[in-house]
Structure 1
Amino acid sequence: MNITFIGYGNVGAPLADHLQRLGHQVTLAARDPNSEAVRQAQARNPALQARPMEQAVQEADVVFLATPYSVNEQVIPPLANALAGKVLVDCTNPVGPGLSHGLASQQAGSQALQALAPQARVVKAFTIYGYENFENSAYPGYNVLPTMMYCGNDAPAKQTVAGLMAALGWAPLDVGGLEQALHLEHMTLLWVRMVRVMGHSPNMVWAALTR
Structure 2
Amino acid sequence: MKIYGHVNSRSTRALWAAEEVGASYEYESIDLMGGAARREPYISINPGGKVPALVEGELVLTESAAICNYLANRFPEASLLPKEGSKERALVDRWSYFAMTEMDAPLWTLTKHKMIYPEGKRVPAIIDVAIGEFARSVQLLEKGLGAQEFIVGSRFSVADLLLGHCLSWAKAFQVPIDSDIVMAYAKRLWARPALVRARAREMA
TM-score between the two structures when normalised by the length of structure 1: 0.33
Which is bigger in relative contact order (C-alpha 8 A, separation at least 6)?
2
Q: Which has the larger radius of gyration?
A: 2
Structure number with higher strand proportion? 1
TM-score between the two structures when normalised by the length of structure 2: 0.34
